[in-house]
Amino acid sequence: MLYNWKYWWRSLHNHNYFIIKLGVSILLVGLAFMLLYTRSTGFSPVTDTPFLGNAQISPPPVVPLISQENIDGFPSVDDAGKCNLFIGDWIPYQGEPIYTNESCSFIEDHQNCMKNGRPDTGYLHWRWNPRGCKLARFDPDRFLESVRNKSWALIGDSISRNHVQSLLCILSTIEKAVEVYHDEGYKSRRWIFPTYNFTISVLWSPLLAKAAIFEDMNGVSKSEIELHLDILDTNWTKQYQSFDYMIISSGKWFVKNAIYYENNMVLGCHNCPKRNFTELGFNFAYRKVLHNVFDYIIRSNHKGMIFYRTSTPDHFENGEWFSGGACRRTVPAEEGEFGLSEVNKVLREVELEEFEKASAKASENGVNLKLFDVNPLSLLRPDGHPGPYRFFQPFAKDKNAKTINDCLHWCLPGPIDSWNDLLMDMVVNVIIANIALWMAVGWTTLSQADIIEYRCLVSSSAAELAARPTHTQPAGLLGHGRVTMK
Ligand SMILES: *[C@@H]1O[C@H](CO)[C@@H](O)[C@H](O)[C@H]1NC(C)=O
Ligand SMILES: *[C@@H]1O[C@H](CO)[C@@H](O)[C@H](O)[C@H]1NC(C)=O
Ligand SMILES: *[C@@H]1O[C@H](CO)[C@@H](O)[C@H](O)[C@H]1NC(C)=O
Ligand SMILES: *[C@@H]1O[C@H](CO)[C@@H](O)[C@H](O)[C@H]1NC(C)=O
Ligand SMILES: *[C@@H]1O[C@H](CO)[C@@H](O)[C@H](O)[C@H]1NC(C)=O
């Protein structure tokens, strides 16, 4: 009898313990889902902790897994207390780049600085360090796990192409991408990572709007661009709904000489002295087109994640690209050392203003539109451009050879690789950090080990959920066979 009672007590005890744990786990799944659900309608930041203001909840028993370390006392956090990933510093990095000209075959010759013989390598040893929080290095394995069956697109000009090559090089350390499409000029392309059924596209649409461009292979223009301010380029819009994630960008191309159309009639131009059209200024055109782009996005009912990447600065010194300008630096600039050029300032002002206007409307409409503001951190990297190493061994024959410098695109490997650290954070880590924080705050009964385990279990499905249409059920999380209690 005594034995039985003891046995019964113990089993009840175990049973209870199990039930408590089960209950906790169900609640956590619910909480995580709630969080992800609210996230996908109005995306909120890393440290959104609605529970912290609630007096009934005791302080977290464990330190949140994602520590909000405050580096050199500079709180680069916004009004809501969230870390701004784009305010920070380039700090020395001892490690080697994740890929090289030997290991990656996706690097365009013009940006293959290693192969082209750039002698210094210091520019490879910096990493971006946001001041308000820690930024993990891009983890290609985890990234690919979390984007199974997904499709990404980078839409824009040659800087988008530069970026896609960086991403392909990093991901190809896990599995080599296979090209499945390219257009005639190899400007729009698509690759697949077969094991993950993950596709990346780069879509050539330098102005995002309908345009006739009269340039030869070397970028020499025969006539002004004919740009339709009121018609978006179908090169990207027709595929828009097929992508789960998009990084859209533009900028530089608007500075070129152009004739602007609206309703298929000439409205004016930028820089067309030989013609009798009104000079409207490129900022006028950029604003109009961006307004239309954002309007399209806002109304699109798209359920994935859309980033608007800000345009990036160039670093020509002592001239322009056509007049002997060069970029000879070998270390990052100090903050404030480089200002944006007048043109870049105008572009930036327009894109920030138009984004700001669009952003609120997007979240009202449940569209997940985010700013990917790499402009300021790129401004600090005058050392990251190919310069003369746009060409193979430019000084092999004549060490004083005159070359045209590229101080606009980025060496690969190079500073642009850091953009992926930021993307990874915005796409994958944020969600996990939130779950961990919720757990730490709300569930005092859980040990650190439980939390870590839980975090591992939900990580891939959580990322997947974030990109899932809000009207579907959270099957990815709830139906996940591995979310069980021990
Ligand atoms: C890579 O770059 C190095 C110089 O940094 C060069 O010696 C080597 O031949 C290059 N390899 C390829 C495959 O381009
Ligand atoms: C790949 O992903 C798409 C969704 O993006 C899905 O429709 C398709 O069935 C998947 N293919 C395989 C082989 O898993
Ligand atoms: C990917 O798609 C395939 C086929 O549609 C499906 O069996 C698989 O579960 C999907 N994987 C993820 C992680 O969604
Ligand atoms: C759309 O793509 C085609 C093929 O790549 C290209 O010829 C055309 O110029 C593109 N349109 C714009 C506006 O760039
Ligand atoms: C230029 O345009 C203005 C107004 O559109 C017109 O009055 C003028 O005659 C035009 N000049 C020439 C040389 O075509």
pLDDT computed for residue 458 by the predictor = 36
CA-to-CA separations, 335 to 122, 310, 372, in angstroms, rounded: 18, 19, 20
Question: Taking the domains of the chain in order of start, what are their residue ranges?
Answer: 17-69+432-478, 71-430
Closest listed residue to residue 443, CA positions, set 9, 8, 23, 70: 23
Atom 5 of ligand 1: nearest residue by CA position: 114
Q: Is 250 in the pocket of ligand 4 (CB under 6 A)?
A: no
Confirm or reject: Cβ of 119 under 6 Å from ligand 1.
Answer: no
Protein residue with its CA nearest to atom 4 in ligand 2: 149
**Per-residue pLDDT at 79:** 56
Tens digits of per-residue pLDDT, 211-250? 999 988 777 888 999 999 999 999 999 999 999 999 999 9
| % of the chain at pLDDT higher than 90 | 64
pLDDT given for residue 33 in this prediction: 39
Q: How far apart, in whole angstroms, are the C-alpha atoms of residue 41 and residue 314?
A: 36
For ligand 4, is residue 235 a contact (CB within 6 Å)? yes
**CATH code of the domain occupying 71-430:** 3.40.50.1110
Residue 221: the pLDDT is 85
Report whether pLDDT(269) > 80: yes
- The answer to whether 226 and 261 are in contact (CB under 8 A) is yes
- Using left for φ > 0, alpha for ψ between -120 and 50, and beta otherwise, residue 82 falls in beta
Told to judge if 103 belongs to the known catalytic residues of this protein, a careful annotator would answer: no
What are the phi and psi torsion angles at 241 (to 5°)?
-75, -10
> How far is residue 469 from each of residues 399, 430, 473, measured CA to CA in Å?
58, 18, 9
pLDDT digits (tens, 9 = 90+) for 306-353: 999 999 999 999 988 888 899 999 999 999 898 999 999 999 999 999
Contacts of 298 (CB under 8 A, 6+ apart): 358, 361, 362, 365, 367, 369
The predicted model gives 372-383 an average pLDDT of 97
* Cα-to-chain-centroid distance, residue 391: 28
CA–centroid distance, residue 426 to ligand 4 (Å) = 30
Sheet holding 209-212, edge to edge: 209-212, 225-232, 258-262, 265-270
Ligand 4 atom with least separation from CA of 235: 1
Asked whether the predicted pLDDT for residue 109 surpasses 60, the reply is yes
What average pLDDT is seen over the chain? 79
Instruction: Kindly provide the b/e burial profile for residues 27-55, where b requires at least 16 CB atoms within 10 angstroms of the residue's own CB.
Output: ebbebbbebbeebbeebbbbbbbeeeeee
Measure 149 CA to ligand 3 centroid, in angstroms. 6
CA 486/CA 484 separation, integer angstroms: 7
Sequence-separated (6 or more) residues with CB below 8 Å from residue 62: 440, 448, 451
- C-alpha torsion sign, points 352, 357, 358, 362: positive
Looking at residue 439, its pLDDT comes to 66
Phi, psi for 406 (deg, rounded to 5)? -110, 105
Q: Is the pLDDT of residue 47 over 60?
A: no
Residue 482 CA to residue 473 CA, distance in Å, equals 18
Query: What percent of the chain is predicted at pLDDT more than 70?
Result: 71
Q: Is residue 187 pLDDT above 80, yes or no?
A: yes
Q: Measured from the CA of 149, which atom of ligand 3 is nearest?
A: 1
Q: Give the residue, by CA position, lying nearest to ligand 2 atom 12.
A: 197
Any atom of ligand 4 within 6 Å of the Cβ of 236: no
- Alpha-carbon distance of 154 to 162, in angstroms, equals 10
Q: Is 406 a catalytic residue?
A: yes
Which pLDDT score, from 0 to 100, does residue 446 have? 43
Tokens of 441: 């705050």
| Residue 308, token pair as written in the block | 């608007």
Q: Is the CB of 114 under 6 A from ligand 1?
A: yes
- Which ligand is nearest the CA of 278, by number? 5
What digits encode the pLDDT tens for the residues 461-480?
Answer: 333 333 333 322 222 222 22
Which of 144, 146, 147, 197 is the best mutation target for the ligand 2 pocket, counting ligand atoms within 8 Å of the beta carbon and taking the most?
197
Q: Closest-lying ligand to the alpha carbon of 149?
A: 2
Greater model confidence, 156 or 445: 156
Set 89, 233, 373, 406: catalytic member: 406
Q: Is the pLDDT of residue 122 over 90?
A: yes
Q: How confident is the model at residue 429 (pLDDT cuts 50, 70, 90)?
A: low
Q: Check residues 223 and 441 and name the one with the higher pLDDT.
A: 223
- Cβ of 458 less than 6 Å from ligand 1: no
Q: Is the pLDDT of residue 65 over 60?
A: no
Q: Which member of 25, 158, 311, 359 is catalytic? A: 158
What pLDDT is attached to residue 433? 58
Is residue 157 annotated as part of the catalytic site, yes or no?
A: no
Which tokens go with 355? 């984004």
Using the predicted structure, report yes or no on whether residue 2 has a pLDDT greater than 60. Answer: no
Ligand 1 within 6 A of CB of 102: yes
Nearest CA to ligand 2 atom 13: 197
Starting at the earlier edge strand, list the strands of the sheet with 189-193. Answer: 178-182, 189-193, 198-204, 151-156, 245-249, 305-309, 369-372
> What number is the average pLDDT over the span 341-370?
96
